[in-house]
Copies of this chain bind each other. A is one copy, B any other.
């Protein structure tokens, strides 16, 4: 399909995603919102008018509005109209800003889960687990040495530790809030000197796990999460 030498390239791009009309419409609406500086509470034009202007049917426009509603950009009110609920657009940083008040919750939750995970990992880690953890550390260090922020290595490290805890349930819950954590991670590692400090924290955690010292692992993870939580956004927010 799609004319290609198949199967050889492991990174072969998957099925190409066809943009649906409603997606384009949704994007046009959001950019229209930002361009015109619409704020929370401002009204969008009536559906009929908007549909005509955008050159799509009301049904399609309606789909776009559903999408925007799910994301939390607009609120559609029967009989009244459509109003903007979040003036911010979609970049990651801005997304965090929009959820600035949720950030502390994410950190609390992360602390709860990862502290326990670290302790369990110290008890249960296999040699295989340790190997994965070390690899993640090396990858992170190499990335930082090369001038990167070590975001991917950071992610791998925490993933490896989670695996080492050998608790399907905890892993699932971590996965559940993974997206949220990712946002804070990028923000945190963007601060100067932070990647190296973070790496040191990882080392301490890894050593405690290697030594099989559950309490030390738990404490080290707690300290690490604490450090990572100190992001600019949090200080700015309220």
Nearest opposing residue in chain B for A175, CB measure: B88
Q: How far is the CA of A116 from the CA of B111 in the complex (A)?
A: 8
Known A-B contacts A88-B175, A108-B120; the reply to A169 vs B96 at CB < 8 A is yes
Report if A56 contacts B (CB, 8 A).
no
Count of A interface residues, CB-CB < 8 Å? 39
CB of A167 within 8 A of CB of B111, answer no
Query: Residue of B at shortest CB range from A115?
Result: B112
Q: Is the CB of A168 within 8 A of B102?
A: yes
Q: Which of A66-74, A144-152, A187-195 is the contact stretch?
A: A66-74
**Contact of A112 (CB < 8 Å), options: B59, B71, B168, B170:** B170
In the complex, what distance in Å separates the CA atom of A18 from the CA atom of B117? 41
A105 touches B167 (CB 8 A): yes
- Whole-angstrom distance between the alpha carbons of A115 and B111 in the complex? 11
Smallest Cβ distance from A41 to chain B, in angstroms? 13
In contact, A105 and B170 (Cβ under 8 angstroms): yes
A105 to B117, CA, bound (A): 11
- A85 an interface residue at 8 Å Cβ cutoff? no
A93 to chain B, nearest CB (A): 10
Closest B residue to A63 by beta carbon equals B66
Complex Cα–Cα for A173 and B22 (A):
28
Q: How far is the CA of A175 from the CA of B92 in the complex (A)?
A: 11
A181 to chain B, nearest CB (A): 11
The answer to whether A112 and B105 touch across the interface, beta carbons within 8 angstroms, is no
A237 contacts partner chain B, Cβ-Cβ < 8 Å: no
| Binary contact readout A39-77 vs B (1 if CB under 8 angstroms, 0 otherwise) | 000000000000000000001001100110011000001
A109 within 8 A of B: yes
A127 within 8 A of B: no
- Tell me whether A109 and B66 are in contact in the complex, defined as CB-CB below 8 angstroms, given that A18-B78, A78-B18, A176-B88 are known contacts: no
Q: Are A22 and B66 interface neighbours, CB within 8 A? A: yes
* Across-interface contacts of A211 in B (CB, < 8 A): none
On A, residues with C-beta under 8 Å from B are: 15, 18, 22, 59, 62-63, 66-67, 70-71, 77-78, 88, 92, 95-96, 99, 102, 105-106, 108-109, 111-113, 115-117, 120, 167-170, 172-173, 175-177, 180
15 sample A-B contacts, Cβ–Cβ < 8 Å, listed by A number: A18-B78, A22-B66, A59-B62, A70-B70, A70-B71, A88-B176, A92-B169, A102-B168, A108-B120, A108-B170, A112-B112, A112-B116, A112-B170, A173-B177, A176-B176
